[in-house]
Amino acid sequence: MTDHLEIDNLYIGFDLSTQQLKLSVIDDNYKLFFEETVHFDKELSHYGTRNGVVLKGETVTCPTLLWVESLDKLLEKLKTIKFPFHKVRVISGAAQQHGSIYWSHNALSLLSSLDSSRPLVHQLTNAFSILQSPTWQDSSTSEQCSELEKLIGGAEVLVNLTGSKAYERFTGNQISKICKTDPTAFSQTSRISLVSSFLASLFLGHYAPIDISDGSGMNLLNIHTKRWEDKLLDICSDGAGSELKEKLGEPEIDGIKILGNVNEYFVKRYGFNKDCKIIPFTGDNPATIISLSVKPGDVIISLGTSDTVLLYTCKPLATLDSHTLCHPFIPNSYLSMLCRKNGSLTREYIRDIYAKDEDNELWNTFNNILNTTKPMKSKIGFYFLLQEIIPFAKGIFRFDNNKLVEEFEDNPNYNVRAIIESQFLSMKLRINKLLRNDKEKIERLIVVGGASNNDEILKILADVFGTKVWKSQIEGKGGISASMGSAIKARLALLKQEIKSINYYEIEENYSLVANPNLNNTKIYEDMVENYQEMEKLVIE
């Protein structure tokens, strides 16, 4: 922690992501003051999660109490080092999208009467009607998705209303599954939160609203009216639409609105100022967009647990492959998003088979292979360890000269290059569909997320796109863009309250060039695209 005698105000941003709870703290000048994390598998191993989740077939959940305890643990770490809690003016946060939390009927009274001498986790054991929260990696709701699209009049109708066709991980379909398979739990639920609004609720001491940006990932929100769509609520609740509406609460359209002061519990236990404000928390991807103050023409590639592509746009662009989310606080602005489940964890899987190191976190052998192999048009691989979102496929498929093979027999290490090439080719293909016309092109390619630390991976990204790749200084060592975006949102909320206006684009951002394309390689990838699409079709079949 840097010296804070000269600093009057601090702003906290959380990110409750798949594998860890992260915290970034900034000062009035948006400068990073402090960061900390709690890693779920390593530091809360008694919950038995692997990579932050519990996997049972296509059902992927996380114990809700793990998330509660991760907050206890993080704040205790700060207390131990005498973090200046009293200087925090606003708390905000972000979280993995789509996951849902089911509060029991006594949750509100538990939240409002917390005893500051005890950790949260011991006091909230009865606060949930469902103990395992569905997460974004879940793909167990295909039946509900088909039903939703059928009853609303087709995938296109749903895209036009909500910004996305029906997706297994989207919260409306998760709720629909619970209504059908566990109606008792549904009736014992007083409120349904997203992971983001759940974390905000802990700080507020009562239920925080779902913000419209994270709410756009539910298949329930009309992204034009910014309200829940009654017909969708009915379909996803077996006809109990008005009951579901009550359980969701009104969506919040202003992502930088002050919701209230921090719950007394945090004042007494940690020394937060009683006037410290809480604002809506949002999804990790919208928060990443905020951290970079991006403009049209910027394309962000986030290489975290999931790999996502994010574009800022003023007009929603509905496609069957992408998602449109409302911006958390800029009116009439949207984000276009592509998401791949098989991001870092699938790269780790391939690393552990073909490029194992003494210290795996260094990725040395993996990078050595990337550095010493060249792109080969004849070898294409598809690596879908988890059920992929787009294309909807599962399994590992390798093609050598267009023939499906068990392994790249002449050089099995080629899998290391093939997975990276394949992930980026898939993104490139689909980004092209998001650019509206021939004139629209990628002005800047910006990378964030844990794997953006890896220069060899970034070189291939630059080669596949034929574009320079940039990284924001705000990302530091990588992986904190969502918590930084949340902290920035916290700072903006106070500015708006005090001077009634904000200019979000005034935030000074320094970008550094992290990879230059090798245009000879770009040409090879361009020649590969058509074949890649053909092989992908075979995989889907």
Ligand X SMILES: O=C(CO)[C@@H](O)[C@H](O)COP(=O)(O)O
Ligand Y SMILES: Nc1ncnc2c1ncn2[C@@H]1O[C@H](COP(=O)(O)OP(=O)(O)O)[C@@H](O)[C@H]1O
Q: How far is the CB of 284 from ligand X (least distance, A)?
A: 5
Q: Is residue 521 a contact residue for ligand X (CB under 6 A)?
A: no
Question: Among 305, 452, 453, 467, which residue interacts with ligand X (rule: CB under 6 A)?
Answer: 305
The DSSP secondary-structure symbol of 18 reads S
DSSP per-residue letters across 395-416? EEEEEETTEEESS-TT-TTHHH
**Span from 71-79, 85-93, 445-453, 516-524 in contact with ligand Y (CB under 6 A):** 445-453
CB of 138 to ligand X, least distance (A): 10
Q: Which residues pair with 384 in a beta bridge?
A: 395
Q: Which of residues 300-359 bind ligand Y (CB under 6 A)?
A: 304-305, 344, 348
171 binding ligand X? (CB under 6 A): no
Q: Which is nearer to ligand X, 73 or 98 (CB)?
A: 98
**Residue 363 binds which entry of ligand Y, ligand X, none, CB below 5-8 Å type-dependent:** ligand Y
Q: How far is the CB of 387 from ligand Y (least distance, A)?
A: 18
- Single-letter amino acid code for the residue at 281: F
**Site for ligand X contains 197 (CB under 6 A):** no
- Regarding 140 and contact with ligand Y (CB under 6 A), the answer is no
Give 426 or 454: the residue with its C-beta nearer to ligand Y. Answer: 454
Q: Of 72, 284, 298, 536, which one interacts with ligand X (CB under 6 A)?
A: 284
Give me the sign of the Cα torsion angle 101, 106, 112, 113: negative
Nearest to 304 by CA among 139, 95, 456, 71: 95
Q: Which 131-150 residues touch ligand X, going by CB under 6 A? A: 136
Per CB under 6 A, the segment of 92-100, 108-116, 125-133, 432-440 that binds ligand X is 92-100
Q: Is 134 in the site for ligand Y (CB under 6 A)?
A: no
Q: Give the angle subtended at the CA of 63 by the CAs of 121 and 178, to the nearest 5°.
A: 125
391 upstream amide cis, omega within 30 of 0 = yes
DSSP string, 306-361: SEEEEEEESS----SS-EEEE-SSSTT-EEEEEEESSSHHHHHHHHHHH---SSGG
> What's the distance, Cα to Cα, between the start and end of the chain in Å?
54
Q: Give me the 320-359 binding string for ligand X, x by CB under 6 A, dash otherwise.
A: -------------------x--------------------
Residue closer to ligand Y, measured from CB, 78 or 419: 419
454 contact choice in ligand X, ligand Y, none (CB below 5 to 8 Å, kind-dependent):
ligand Y
User: Is residue 196 near ligand Y by the rule CB under 6 A?
Assistant: no
Contact 455, 471 (CB under 8 A): no
Q: Rounded to 5 degrees, what are φ and ψ at 423?
A: -60, -40
Residue of 12, 14, 18, 334 interacting with ligand Y (CB under 6 A): 18
Residue type, 424: F
- Please report how the helices 155-162 and 142-152 are oriented relative to each other, as an axis angle in degrees rounded to 10: 90
How far apart are alpha carbons 23 and 481 in whole angstroms? Answer: 11
User: Measured from the CB of residue 473, what is the shortest distance to ligand Y in angstroms?
Assistant: 17
Return residues touching ligand Y (CB under 6 A).
Answer: 17-20, 304-305, 344, 348, 363, 449-451, 453-454, 479
